[in-house]
Amino acid sequence: MTSSTPHAALPGNPYGGPGGEPYAGHNGGYPAQPGAHPAPHEQAQQRQPGRFDDLHATAQRIAQNVERVLVGKPEVVRIALVTLLAEGHLLVEDVPGVGKTSLAKALARSIDCTVSRIQFTPDLLPSDVTGVSIFNRQTNEFEFRSGPVFANIVVGDEINRASPKTQSALLECMEEHQVTVDGNTYPLDSPFMVIATQNPIEMEGTYALPEAQRDRFTARVSIGYPDPQAELAMVDEHAARDVWATLRPVSDADQVRGLIDSVRSVQIAQEVRRYAVELVSATRRLSEIRIGASPRSTLHLVRAARAQAALSGRDFVVPDDLHVVAVPVLAHRLVLTPEAQASRRSPADLIRGLLQRVPVPQATPDAGGAPWTGPRGR
């Protein structure tokens, strides 16, 4: 999907405040989420001078580039950026033709780094993903030929069409950023991100992702259909030119590595950490859920919240950051009971209910008036 309309920033102006001043406004300009805490930190949400200037500028350029292809889906673009900065992996799940592969390709093309695409099919083998050792008759030794997973961004199209054996080839790559073949371990370059797509309605001839693999995806997004205005802009743009021919990188791997290091330095207070743990552990006590979120999901939730805080121009995490990323990070990990499925309860609705019920910690401002900061927040 394409549009000729220029974007100064994502809708909601999360990357630019009034007069071009970034980071102004509550929660970075993002719309309030259901159950979001009316945070007491609004008065402290000022621009961090110089600290996130590079992050702000780079994120804005990448968002603008992606939105040339994917029109009218700012929240999807935001979650993709959050996942990238959180050193995570993204699962894009939706019906055919809404732009799943376009999102993955646009994000990959926006960064000048190594990119590979794997078209998952039933006859794909694990060695087609990771690589294989080949005997060299001249040297009488085996040589390792790396597979497409050795790239900074790996686009896995229709991942659920491959067999479970082939899907499992990504488990070590996604969790440990390395590949083990014939007893030898090969590290993957940083940044490393897997963007996988799958179609949830055409299940014939497909293999559902096992819970172990779904749990390795930091976030899952569904794009949905565009509104009529965005769809009309897409039609006009496709009639005029090929947007892919003009899509150029606006960042590179070194710059993204620097942004990831900046996100790691974002502070998170002990109270907010405890709140994240309580949110995740609450999923394990719901009667509608057979398998709740794992401890790995707690780590992913905190990393995503740090990235969300950085995109909002703060060097500290507030409960609102957890609220913004909770549904994309947690919902796809939950396994509902048969009764909950029969009553058409969705994991996303259950997560939103927990955001309403789990008590939100109250901020304790430091001497400078900024909440959730101080040595305890490291």
pLDDT digits (tens, 9 = 90+) for 82-122: 999 999 999 999 888 888 988 999 999 999 999 999 999 99
Which residue ranges of the chain lie beneath pLDDT 50?
1-49, 367-370, 373-378
Which CATH code for domain 265-378? 1.10.8.80
Of 372, 356, 361, the closest CA to residue 33 belongs to: 356
d(CA 333, CA 352): 14
Give the pLDDT score at 51.
59
Q: Which two tokens stand for residue 64?
A: 């603008």
Give the pLDDT score at 337.
92
Give the pLDDT score at 95.
86
At 270, which helix (H) or strand (E)? helix 270-283
Give the pLDDT score at 371.
56
Give the pLDDT score at 293.
94
Give the pLDDT score at 25.
32
**pTM attached to this predicted model:** 0.82
d(CA 196, CA 119): 10
Which CATH code for domain 73-225+232-251? 3.40.50.300
Of 193, 200, 127, 112, the closest CA to residue 159 belongs to: 200
pLDDT digits (tens, 9 = 90+) for 27-73: 333 333 444 443 434 433 444 445 577 788 888 899 989 988 888 88
Instruction: Provide the b/e sequence for 235-274 (b: ≥16 CB within 10 Å).
Output: eebeeeeebeeebebbbebebbbebbebbeebbbbebbbe
**Cβ distance 42 to 24 under 8 Å?**
no
Per-domain residue ranges of the chain? 73-225+232-251, 265-378
**Cβ distance 81 to 59 under 8 Å?**
yes
If you ran DSSP here, which 8-state letter would residue 12 be given?
T
Count Cβ atoms below 10 Å from residue 63 Cβ, excluding itself. Answer: 24
